[in-house]
Amino acid sequence: MYLDTGWHRQRVVMRMVCQKPLEERKRMEERLWTVSEVAKRLRLDETTVRRYIADGAMEAVILPHKGERKSYRIKQSTLDTILHPKGRTP
């Protein structure tokens, strides 16, 4: 008799993830930054970062939340685009 403890299911999922192309795996593992982390990194106020997100100037993931203030996470790729725009030489 086989008892499903979840270990086998995890192993199958990991095998499926490892078989995906490297670029897709990197996208899945992309770091997400909080609004306060982005604000510190860009030397802005948190309100300004939230305004950029609300105006569509900065792409963010909206997390499920309770209350008035939405919880956002900003992808590493979005932050990289802001910090290192194409066509600009360092």
Q: What are the start-end ranges of the H helices in the chain?
A: 7-18, 22-28, 35-42, 46-55, 76-83
- pLDDT score, position 13: 46
The yes-or-no verdict on residue 3 having pLDDT over 60 is: no
The yes-or-no verdict on residue 7 having pLDDT over 50 is: no
Structure tokens at 32: 């997400």
Write the pLDDT tens digit of every residue in 25-81: 555 678 999 999 999 999 999 999 999 999 999 999 999 878 888 899 999 999 999
CA 3 to chain centre: 36
Prediction pTM value? 0.62
Domains assigned to the chain: 7-83 (1.10.10)
- pLDDT score, position 2: 44
